[in-house]
Structure 1
Amino acid sequence: MSRYISPVLYILLMLVGCAAFISIAGVRIGLFEPLIGFSLLKQSVCAALILSTLAALSIFVCRKECNVSSQRFFGLVLVVSLVYSLMWIVFYAQRINLPNIHDITTDTKMPPEFINVNFLRKSNENGLVYDPKWAAIQIANYPNVKPVMTKKSAQMAYQKALALVVERGWQLDATYPEVGLIEATARTPIFGFRDDVVLRVMTEGDKVRIDMRSCSRVGKGDFGMNAKRIISFMDDLNSRLNGMPFDQMRFLN
């Protein structure tokens, strides 16, 4: 019986692999939108779980046969499909409790405003009006999202922020040095979801304050990507401006 089961499992394994590849590659090359790719990936994970079950059943049903190569193949299919599905299940489980918001900013009272990005977003994508209700949720879940304060000049802060945007490989959408604004588009590592970013450099007393806002174009939640992006960027920017870890910013306030 194993000689009949093996080709079926092989074909199913190839189909799952193709679905996983297409779901990611299709988005990266612009074949379809990220949400479609994400949906296809979820279906491939479900298919992998079903394949794991079939492989386990095959091992049990054919256990009395003296076909070692088939048993090894069944075991290989079981391990590969199970590892693949569990990898994505763990990825999702680690983020399932994150808040269902997609707009994160270092200034929840007066968030930096987008100018050029307003013309880049489609009508079916998220709006750019900040919802004040998100402020309390953000503070509770992402307390490390904070602005950078420095005694360096506003011009230097602007140039350092702009250079860091370029280094990160984000698409530079617009620069407004006269008002201290930088707009860019970043993409998530796997599916390439587009998140719009705006940086604002302004003088506040005898210091310069740099704020940042990161907002997803699609989806109600962002799996914490916008907060992670801001924390990482501001940490690097603070090191370049102030020469100290980000958690020491309080000494500048």
Structure 2
Amino acid sequence: MRGIVRTLVGAGLALAVVAALAGVLAGLGTKLGFWDFRTGFAVLRWSVYGALAAVALSGAGLLGAMHQRSARLGLTALPGLVIALAAAAVPLLHVRMVEAYPPIHDITTDTKNPPRFVALAEIREEAPNAVAYPGETTAKQQKQAYPNIRPLTVPVSPERAFDAARAAAAAMGWNIAAADAEARRIEATAETFWFGFRDDVAVRVTAREDGGSRIDVRSASRVGVSDLGANAKRIREFLAGVQERLPGAAPAE
């Protein structure tokens, strides 16, 4: 009996480590371009299956150790159980997030006239998600899910507002593709940490009749249906960075 318990514990730990490594490599391989995101998701899915199997093996080993009243075997089973639970929990949490967020991936402060992609248009034409704004259905879903995504009005000239926006974009760590001071337009690309998904950002600064400026932002994913709230979060963080540089800035009504 003790030999069976040892086998369960050892198999659980080995499978847990393999599943955890597969989960890491699923994203890393996608980010480095070894395979596309569909393959990465397939590897991730199988890593979850492996992790759940490891939970079962390690759990059975732990129960067996408790039955045998072997503290040493019980302690040996715990690492496999912990690693397996962590390897399964992260992807499953993302699945729950998909259910919590709307199936949209193009967010903007101006759904009637979103900032356009110019410098990045050709790259986005080759991406699965269209370069054109999806339209009214997406706008309605955005308004319901992210009602606080609004333009930013600032009591400074467009030139000064553009400089602040450019500085905030640089501070975000984005790859700046264009910063046209004459057109007061910024385009950049942000990359996600795990899978390296690329989301494109367009910033537009326009003059207001009162002498101030209005800043609009659009953040759109190149692939995927739901962005899990990433684009809305990015816009909020960017506009917060602009506000730090321009006292008196406020969201437009």
TM-score if structure 1 supplies the norm length? Answer: 0.89
RMSD: 2.1
Shift of 1:21: 2.1
**Is the contact made by 2:117 and 2:131 (CA closer than 8 Å) also made in structure 1?**
yes
Residue in 1 aligned with 2:123?
120
Equivalent residue runs for 1:207-218 within 5 Å = 207-218=212-223
Deviates more, 1:215-224 or 1:126-135: 126-135
The 2-side partners of 1:213 and 1:154 are apart by 18
1:86 lines up with 2:121 in the alignment: no
Report the 3-state secondary structure (helix = DSSP H, G, I; strand = E; otherwise coil) of the residue aligned with 2:224: coil
Confirm whether residue 5 of structure 1 aligns to residue 8 of structure 2.
yes
Q: How does 1:184-203 map to 2 (within 5 A)?
A: 184-203=188-207
Residue 157 of structure 2 is aligned to residue 153 of structure 1: yes
Quote the Cα distance in structure 1 between the aligned partners of 2:121 and 2:103.
22
Amino acid at match of 1:52: V
Structure 2 unaligned blocks of 5 or more: none
Which deviations, in whole Å up to 9, do the C-alpha atoms of 1:95-130 show, x marking residues without a partner?
Answer: 522110010000011111111111113535211111
Q: Percent identity?
A: 33
CA contact (8 A) 1:45 1:84 kept: yes
SS in 2 for 1:100: coil
Q: Is the 8 A contact 1:13 1:81 kept in 2?
A: yes
Secondary structure in structure 2 of the residue aligned to 1:121: helix
Structure 1 stretch 87-96 or stretch 135-144: which is displaced more?
Answer: 87-96
Kindly indicate whether the alpha-carbon contact (under 8 Å) linking 2:20 and 2:84 is maintained by their aligned counterparts in 1.
no
Which deviations, in whole Å up to 9, do the C-alpha atoms of 1:4-51 show, x marking residues without a partner? 334322321221122022113223333223443233223312321221
Which 5+ residue runs of structure 1 have no aligned equivalent?
none
The residue aligned with 2:39 is: 36
Per-residue deviation at 1:62? 4.9
For residues 36 and 243 of structure 1, the distance between their equivalents in structure 2, rounded to whole angstroms, comes to 48
Q: Aligned match of 2:18 in 10, 15, 19?
A: 15
- Secondary structure of the residue aligned to 1:96 is helix
From 123, 141, 147, the equivalent of 1:143 is 147
Stretch moving more, 107-116 or 73-82: 73-82
- Taking the aligned partners of 2:251 and 2:95, their CA distance within structure 1 comes to 33
CA separation of 1:233 and 1:124: change in aligned 2, threshold 3 A: closer
- Which residue in the other structure is 2:240 paired with? 235
Would the aligned equivalents of 1:106 and 1:145 in 2 still touch at CA under 8 Å? yes
Q: What is the total number of aligned residue pairs between the two structures?
A: 248
Q: Deviations over 1:141-192 (max 9, x none)?
A: 1011111111211111111111111121111112222211111000123222
Assess, with a 3 A threshold, how the Cα gap between structure 1 residues 10 and 80 changes in structure 2: closer, same or farther. Answer: closer
- Quote the offset at 1:91 in angstroms: 4.3
- Report if the CA contact (8 A) 1:146-1:231 is conserved: no
Tell me if 1:58 matches 2:61.
yes
- In structure 1, C-alpha distance between the alignment counterparts of 2:79 and 2:16, rounded to whole Å: 10
Letter in 2 for 1:204: R
Query: 1:151 is matched by which residue type in structure 2?
Result: P
User: Aligned partners of 2:127 and 2:110: how far apart in 1?
Assistant: 26
Distance 2:155 2:195 in 1: 39
Give distance in 2, aligned partners of 1:63 and 1:152: 70
- The farther-off stretch of 205-214 and 234-243 is 234-243
- Using the alignment, how far apart are the partners of 2:160 and 2:113 within structure 1? 23
